[in-house]
A and B are shown apart, each in its own frame.
Chain A
């Protein structure tokens, strides 16, 4: 009843190609944007900022990046942590070299640098496929982490090996550093995610996205119909790394503020969770990237609240339970809905069309 598409006619090609073909979707999305931009900033406190919203936005960004590579172009990558580390360290180095540069430009530049690194580590994909490639991307993960750990130039010869962000402002308000107000960091991340999210969505709907999908579905066939594998695969690596690099940059500059490379960008801390996000959210789905990120951010908070505060287990035992439940959910989810949350959402929409009179 509420969600019906009858009577919505498309009379121009533009309207047929719009991102949200249904008026209900468009309205819902606009309301969501209005709330996100105009309501949330007034009510956000630092718990919501640091525990939920900022991680959600940053992980969404990383998930979009990995989804472009794995979900749309079919190249499984386990090196997400490494690429995020590149973004973070690029931000740090640019900040030291150009103290006056605007933070927005720094973040975008870090993305560009990561894109080049991504192209470099994407080169083996032209020859290696499938799981062999997945393991090969682990090489980039381990190499990058090792490099940032062992070469002191990257962390400016600090004694602890940590990198620390310095304060940067936009329009006179600090967005990085300890004094940044929650609404500023939130809006900063939100703007980047929304703008780049739209960019990704439109890339996927255009020629470059279609060639990614052709390569994913069958690379030899794609090559025969004229999709150049070299250009396509490397562009997927570049753009995916750009997004992941920006996620890493935000992770360092806005979210953590100070970090140590081995623990922050470990394969278990970043690479697998992000891969899990896109699988639980839905491979090859923009919405899925966001849903997966939300799921991964909220689940540990929920579990911790239930087990430590409600049942009263000790933190260590609760942690073990959390790992177990985490794994169980992963397996159960893959068994019940291998296409992820995005698929559940489209099933729900199907149901809503007929509600309340299914025939």
Chain B
């Protein structure tokens, strides 16, 4: 009955879910692009998928901008405004990492050596699993459902697992006979990949704090 009075809140809710859905799309394209890159290096199909990832990343920026404008026009109570804006700012670091990885692969024409491919696939898989769980955790927080702590602990475990894989890859890399310049290039790439699960973990911890703050 009072829906017309709280139009901004409903609009905001829709935009936040659009943002999360779009994040899923970015993730999908990033996964496909990376699988292709690992399989056949930088190709036309890879470039197409990279462009698609960039397109969805731009959509994410537009949605975030719209969300911020709604917030500045006083949707939600001040405390929630601050929480949501801060949270989305942190979440937004993840698609940036996706783009950075794809850009590095394209511009530096990186070719992953076979002895690293399995570990890199594993690193990407676990990192993306963390992102999925993080999106789920945000939904749980917004809908005030149970399970935030379980998700927090799984994301935390994933982050630590990713750290192990990252270290393993770097050790293997510097034990190998690859050219030193390529070693440094790949090391930089692996560090950016590892950043995905770190960021998902940071977002997850923030979600947990927001949830605790809202508990009365």
Q: Do A and B come from one complex?
A: no
